[in-house]
Amino acid sequence: MLIANHLAHSAHLASAFESFSLPEEIGWIALVQRTGKEYTLIGAAGNIPYSLEDLGQLKSSPSEALVLPCTSEYEIWVKAASFHSLAPLPCLREFLHNLRLLFHSDNPPKKLADEHFLYEKLSRLYENMINIRRPEMLQTAADLFAELLHFKRVCLFAYSPKKQSFYGIVGHNLNNDLIKRIHEPWSNIPFAPLVLASRMPAYVPEVSRLNGLPARYIEQFGLTSLVVTPLVADNQIIGAALMDHGGEFFEPSGEILQACMQFGNHIGRVIYHQQTVNNGEYSSWLHERPLSPREAEVIQLAALGESTKEIAASLRLSDYTVRDYLTSAVEKLNARNRTEAVAVALRMGIIQ
């Protein structure tokens, strides 16, 4: 199954690729070295395209593959088809984890440079995240992803394992009202299963390709390249951060992808800790996002002090319809009245 091992960099790496049973959902997987804008193939498994055999000629990552970090110089490229079940994910996760462990063990000097880069970024992250309360913490997390890692736009999503769906929460340099209307099953996002499996950030060179997003989001937000970072806590995915450069094509460095992974792990733990402290046990950082978009909209206007008649006029609904939405929201939030429902929704980060 080994396709190439051009540099014979490590017998362990070659053995890892030879022993890996590639799930049918994975077209091919490769380990490459990036030097500037040139690439060298180290090892690969599966039906790797002939055009990638000579990676020293490539000037960018292949648009049909996802890029996962290995070290600051080395990347894992994966061409994934649709996942019809979760069965291949544990196998893939174990292989990627072992590959990274083997590679780091063979490259101890480079880890020092990675750690220095991460220490500088994470120190500032800790300084800004300590003692911040929700929902301010979520907005701050998005802002810090952008500021410290030099992304122009960042969007945070909650993940519901129960519903296998992602829910838009908050963004940096994005319209939060639009973000909060996003609710998408992971089965509609081709790269989502790989992120869930690897628990590592993934670089998507071109989101309009097979690995990309539904067309409506590409058009609405003008998307091209993305970095997708899982938010991890207690060894589970609780959300994800999507980051880009305002719709412009870009290629992140290995250090940036490493930092994204560390940020995702830290912010995931902060969210997990706050939710556990507030509720006694962790279920979801938005309680499965209980309100419909219209219910959340009505509660948001109620939080601004608008009366039922004023909300009805703002949304061009009848008074009776607004009352129904308010009653439903109060019940879903386990609140006693409108005032308490607003307080609960603010605490959960559903409204601002």
The per-residue pLDDT for range 268-288, each reduced to its tens digit, is: 887 777 665 554 444 455 544
What per-residue confidence (pLDDT) applies to 290?
Answer: 65
pLDDT at res. 156: 93
| CA distances for 301 relative to 92, 200, 325, 349, 351, angstroms | 46, 38, 12, 15, 9
Look at residues 299, 165, 307, 180 and name the one whose alpha carbon lies nearest to residue 239.
165
**Domain segments of the chain: what residues?**
11-102, 110-279, 293-348
The fold of 110-279 is Beta-Lactamase (3.30.450)
The candidate with the shortest Cα–Cα distance to 202, out of 220, 178, 225, is 225
Read off the amino acid at residue 311: I
Give the number of other CB atoms < 10 A from CB of residue 229. Answer: 29
Residue 281: predicted pLDDT: 46
Both structure tokens of 46: 């599966």
pLDDT tens for 139-196 read 888 998 898 889 999 999 988 877 788 888 889 999 987 887 788 888 888 888 888 8
Domain 293-348 maps to which CATH number in 1.10.10.10, 1.25.40.10, 3.30.465.10, 1.10.3720.10? 1.10.10.10
What pLDDT, on the 0 to 100 scale, is given for residue 5?
40
CB–CB of 227/276 below 8 Å? no
Cβ–Cβ < 8 Å for 139, 170: yes
Q: Are 162 and 185 in contact (CB under 8 A)?
A: no
Reported pTM: 0.74
Q: What is the pLDDT of residue 133?
A: 61
pLDDT lower than 50: segments of the chain: 1-9, 109, 112, 279-283, 287-288
Which residue blocks in 169-307 are alpha helix, DSSP H?
176-179, 192-198, 215-221, 254-279, 293-303
Q: Tokens 């008649």 appear where?
A: 309
Q: Are the C-beta atoms of 146 and 132 separated by less than 8 Å?
A: no
For helices 293-303 and 308-315, angle between their N-to-C axes, nearest 10 degrees: 130
Q: How far is residue 74 from each of residues 32, 105, 107, measured CA to CA in Å?
A: 6, 13, 10
Residue with tokens 């559903």: 350
Return d(Cα 249, Cα 258) in angstroms, integer: 20
